[in-house]
Copies of this chain bind each other. A is one copy, B any other.
Amino acid sequence: MIVRQAANVLEIMEFFAQARKPATLAEIADHFGWPRSSTFNLLATLSEKGYLYEPRPRAGFYPTPRWLAMARMISEVEPLPPWTHTLIADLSAETGETASIVAPAGVMAVFIDVVESQAAIRYFATIGHRVPIHATASGRALLLQYSPEERDSVYRKIEFKQYGPSTPISIEAVEAELRHSIARGYCQSFADYSRDLAGAAIPLPIGDRRLSVVVAGPEFRIGSKVADVAALIARTLDRLRPKTAA
Contacts and interface: CB of A to CB of B under 8 A. Distances in A.
Given A50-B110, A54-B105, A69 B6 contact: no
A126 B65 CA distance: 10
Contact of A104 (B7, B18, B53, B66): B53
Q: How many copies does the complex hold?
A: 2
Contacts of A113: 65
A48 B105 CA distance: 10
Nearest to A77: B20
Nearest to A79: B65
Given A21-B77, A104-B53, A69 B3 contact: no
A127 interface: yes
Interface string A23-60: 00000000000000000011011111111111111000
B70 A17 contact: yes
Interface residues of A, number: 68
A71 B64 contact: no
A6 B50 contact: no
Interface stretch (A8-16, A166-174, A180-188): A8-16
A179 interface: no
Given A5-B4, A56-B209, A13 B50 contact: no
A61 to B, nearest CB: 8
A93 interface: no
Contact of A105 (B52, B67, B108, B150): B52
